[in-house]
Each structure stands twice: as structure tokens, then as C-alpha cells.
């Protein structure tokens, strides 16, 4: 009988390492997207190199010359393949975590109130898990289930921290774990942590609102750059080409040597289209990453902004900005 009664406790203890393995077994979606995007980018950049070398010719815009023009198209798509999956998936995950964090102070206050009635920390967490905390509810119920199975509260909190890996959650878990191990009035500690977490969230939201102005300036400056390129390619540079051709034709009538010298003055103008395209790619990636870092202090959010700017810039350069032909 004693051996039979000991089996459940032994079984619960044996489940602890298995729980940790199951928590860490799966690959994060954003990392999977980054790997798949990197493979796709290598394939697209290979196609770009073959286009530049003249081995193949795949034109995505009608009437564009072969060589570097389609090569830059596939270079752009390769950048999008790397930036977009990781940027959007990571931003989606961080938005979910932020929504979870907004309800974390409410959960901590409920646990503190339950602790003031004489409950231990595990019992207080299990009692508070019956409440509604938005997206945090599933994580709390999962932690409560682990506690009911006999998982130590420190292990359950650590697993919760691994599922929601943010600085706020790490700080809260560290403080609560140490307060529980030290003993004393854990309820007061939880109340203080909940108040501090709410203040941090309010400060972060205020910072985001302030930095949104700078993000708007980055977008406006990028579109101003695009429209400047459009004006140059549609009006100014074609006028330069026509003026150069007129001068060249008039010079040919007066002397071949002078005509040859003059004709060299406008032959470089069509190459500016490639320079514009490279500048758009560089600005889109750099401005997008800067916008994400300024807004949320996260490079993954910058990848999302860079993807949007890259696609808008490519569409405008390929289908709105006229090519410069001599």
C-alpha cells in the first residue's frame, strides 16, 4: 500500500523534466519564417545574379532593359523574403505579448488579494486563475494546471517566463520567486510589483506615442524622396537627354570630332535609373529599421516597416517612374 501511495508523487516528480522538454521542443514561428525566408532569398538572389550575367532574362516590368534592371527586382524580392516573414510574425507575437502584459498587473493584484486570506502562493495562483484576463487567461490556466499536478511554483513561474519572454515578465517572475523563497508577506510584494508594472506600461505607451511623430517623419521623407525621383525621371532628365541630343545633332553638322565629344555628355543619364533604384532599396531598408527601433525599440518591427517601404518603392520605380532611355 505504501508503495502504491508513493507512486503518484513519484510520477509527478518524473513529469517535471518532461514538462520542460515539451515547453522548449517546438521552433518559434518567427524563427521558422526567418529560415524559410533566407532559403527563398538565396534562390531569388541566384536568379538576380543570372539575370545580371545574361544567363537568363526574366523581365517583371514591360519594356525594361535586361541585365541589372531585373537583377535589382529579384534582389528586392530576396530582401522582402528575409524581412517580411520574421518581421510580421515577430511583430504579431510581440503584440500578443504586449496584450498579455497589460493584464498582468490585474492578475498580480488578484493573487495578492487571495494571499491576504492566508493562502499559499500556489493556492492563490490557482484561485486567481478562475478569473478573466484576456489573452493572459490561457497562460494562467496552464500555470495553474502545472501547480495542481505538483509542479513547484518556482518551476511553473519559470515555464511561464519562457512562454512570455519579455523584460517585464522576467522581472516579475524573479521578484515573486525570491519573495516566496524568502517568506514573509508575499501579498505586499505582489501589490508593489503590480503597481510598478502598471507604471512601466504607461511610460512605454507614452514613449510610443511620442516616437510615432518621428516614424511619421521617416515615412513622409521616404515618399518625398520617391516623388523627387519621379519628377527627375519624368521631366528633368528627359529634358537633359533631348537637349544633349539636339546639341549633338547640331555639332555633327559642324564637325564629327566635336559631335563625338558632345554626345558623351548625356550618355550616362539612363544609368541614373539604376542609381535611383539602388538608393530606394537602401533608403527603404535603412528608414524602415530606424522607424521600428524608434517606435518600439525592436528591430523586428523595423523589418515590418522596411518590407512596406521596399514594396511601395519597388512598385513606384517599376510601374510609375518612367525608364530613362536614350
Residue 76 lies in a domain: no
The grid coordinates listed for 248 are 549633338
Neighbouring CB atoms inside 10 A of 304's CB total 24
Grouped pLDDT means (10 residues each) for the chain, 326 residues: 41 46 62 90 91 80 72 91 92 84 86 82 86 84 88 86 80 83 78 86 86 92 92 78 66 52 55 84 93 87 93 89 64
**What is the grid cell recorded at 239?**
529634358
**Does residue 271 lie in a domain region?**
yes
Structural domain of residue 224, as residue ranges? 205-319
pLDDT value of residue 4: 42
What span, in angstroms and rounded, lies between the C-alpha atoms of 94 and 101?
10
CA-CA distance, 164 to 179, in Å (whole number)?
Answer: 21
Q: What is the pTM of this model?
A: 0.74
Angle at 148 between CA 147 and CA 153, to 5 degrees: 15
- Output the CA torsion sign for 306, 312, 318, 320: negative
d(CA 316, CA 281): 12
In total, how many domains does the chain have? 1
The confidence score (pLDDT) of residue 259 equals 44
Establish if 212 belongs to a structural domain.
yes
CA distance 64 to 252: 30
Residue 250 lies in a domain: yes
Q: Between 186-231 and 68-115, two packed helices, what is the crossing angle to 10 degrees?
A: 160
Q: What sections of 297-320 are H helices per DSSP? A: 299-319
Confidence (pLDDT) at 62: 65
Is 223 a domain residue?
Answer: yes
Closest CA to 52 of 69, 29, 37, 64: 69
Whether residue 163 is contained in a domain is answered as no
Evaluate whether residue 190 is within a structural domain.
no
Size of the chain in residues: 326
Q: How far apart are CA 119 and CA 101, in angstroms?
A: 24
**Per-residue pLDDT, 26:** 64
Q: 100 and 143 in contact (C-beta within 8 Å)? A: no
33 domain-assigned: no
Amino acid at each position: 500500500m505504501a508503495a502504491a501511495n508513493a507512486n503518484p508523487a513519484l510520477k509527478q516528480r518524473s513529469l517535471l523534466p518532461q514538462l520542460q522538454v515539451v515547453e522548449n521542443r517546438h521552433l518559434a514561428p518567427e524563427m521558422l519564417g526567418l529560415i524559410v525566408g533566407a532559403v527563398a532569398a538565396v534562390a531569388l538572389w541566384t536568379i538576380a545574379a543570372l539575370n545580371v550575367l545574361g544567363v537568363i532574362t526574366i523581365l517583371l516590368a514591360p519594356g525594361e532593359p535586361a541585365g541589372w534592371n531585373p537583377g535589382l527586382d529579384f534582389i528586392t524580392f530576396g530582401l522582402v523574403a528575409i524581412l517580411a516573414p520574421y518581421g510580421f510574425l515577430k511583430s504579431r507575437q510581440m503584440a500578443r505579448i504586449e496584450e498579455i502584459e497589460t493584464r498582468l498587473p490585474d492578475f498580480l493584484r488578484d493573487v495578492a488579494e487571495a494571499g491576504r486570506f492566508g493562502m499559499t502562493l500556489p493556492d492563490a495562483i490557482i484561485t486567481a486563475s478562475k478569473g478573466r484576463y484576456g489573452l493572459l487567461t490561457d497562460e494562467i490556466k496552464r500555470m495553474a494546471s502545472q501547480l495542481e499536478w505538483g509542479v513547484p511554483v518556482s518551476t511553473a513561474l519559470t515555464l511561464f517566463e519562457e512562454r512570455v519572454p519579455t523584460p517585464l515578465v522576467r522581472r516579475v517572475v524573479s521578484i515573486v520567486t525570491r519573495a516566496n523563497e524568502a517568506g514573509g508577506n508575499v501579498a505586499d510584494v505582489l501589490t508593489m510589483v503590480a503597481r510598478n508594472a502598471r507604471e512601466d506600461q504607461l511610460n512605454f505607451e507614452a514613449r510610443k506615442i511620442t516616437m510615432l511623430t518621428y516614424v511619421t517623419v521617416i515615412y513622409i521623407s521616404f515618399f518625398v524622396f520617391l516623388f523627387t525621383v519621379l519628377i527627375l525621371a519624368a521631366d528633368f532628365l528627359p529634358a537633359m537627354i533631348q537637349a544633349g541630343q539636339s546639341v549633338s545633332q547640331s555639332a555633327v553638322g559642324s564637325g564629327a570630332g566635336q559631335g563625338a565629344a558632345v554626345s558623351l555628355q548625356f550618355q550616362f543619364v539612363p544609368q541614373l535609373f539604376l542609381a535611383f533604384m539602388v538608393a530606394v532599396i537602401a533608403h527603404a531598408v535603412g528608414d524602415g529599421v530606424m522607424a521600428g527601433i524608434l517606435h518600439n525599440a525592436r528591430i523586428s518591427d523595423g523589418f515590418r516597416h522596411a518590407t512596406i517601404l521596399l514594396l511601395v518603392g519597388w512598385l513606384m520605380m517599376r510601374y510609375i517612374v518612367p525608364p530613362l532611355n536614350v
